[in-house]
């Protein structure tokens, strides 16, 4: 990726309503969908991924995805990717999945790549007191085993 492309990727928009989810990352989610067909190595195959607002936008996007025959996999708060420590955790977890042979359709990979790129710009700073407290809580309660 060229530096200009990297720096220009500074937004995450809801794919339903177009809202900029970086203004309040806790209001948005990253959603992944699989298909009943496995990849060539019989591992999960992420067919689709998107960002959207929680609530009505998510419900509308779920209907679209189910109508395409996709199987809901999971959703994660975007705010998890915007904290420096949990960002590292998510990076390692996704790398581990890829290392184990999980595959992503190119469009789903692009969404994941964009999420990490945009989140990196957000997390390349000192942690706030709130984030430090959250990280300590997550570690103390075994929420992030990698930390």
Domain that holds residue 83: 13-140
This prediction's pTM: 0.77
Please indicate, yes or no, if residue 3 is contained in any of the structural domains: no
Please indicate, yes or no, if residue 145 is contained in any of the structural domains: no
- Per the prediction, the chain carries an average pLDDT of 84
Please indicate, yes or no, if residue 49 is contained in any of the structural domains: yes
Please indicate, yes or no, if residue 147 is contained in any of the structural domains: no
28-34 and 45-53 strand pairing: antiparallel
Of all residues in the chain, what percent carry a pLDDT higher than 90?
40
Answer whether residue 99 shows pLDDT above 60: yes
Please indicate, yes or no, if residue 4 is contained in any of the structural domains: no
Please indicate, yes or no, if residue 25 is contained in any of the structural domains: yes
Here the contacts of 3-10 (C-beta below 8 Å, separation 24 or greater) are 6/117, 7/121, 9/114, 9/117, 9/118, 9/121, 10/118, 10/121
Distance in angstroms (rounded) separating the CA atoms of residues 21 and 36: 30
Number of domains in the chain: 1
Please indicate, yes or no, if residue 7 is contained in any of the structural domains: no
């Amino acid at each position: 990726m060229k530096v200009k492309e990297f720096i220009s990727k500074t937004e995450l928009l809801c794919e339903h309503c177009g809202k900029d989810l970086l203004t309040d990352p806790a209001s948005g989610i990253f959603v992944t969908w699989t298909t009943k067909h496995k990849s060539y190595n019989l591992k999960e195959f992420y067919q689709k991924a998107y960002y959207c607002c929680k609530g009505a936008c998510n419900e509308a996007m779920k209907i679209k995805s189910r109508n395409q025959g996709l199987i809901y996999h999971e959703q994660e708060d975007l705010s998890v990717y915007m904290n420096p420590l949990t960002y590292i955790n998510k990076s390692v977890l996704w790398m581990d999945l890829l290392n184990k042979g999980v595959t992503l359709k190119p469009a789903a990979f692009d969404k994941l790549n964009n999420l990490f790129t945009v989140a990196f710009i957000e997390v390349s700073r000192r942690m706030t007191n709130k984030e430090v407290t959250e990280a300590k809580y997550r570690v103390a309660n075994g929420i992030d085993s990698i930390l």
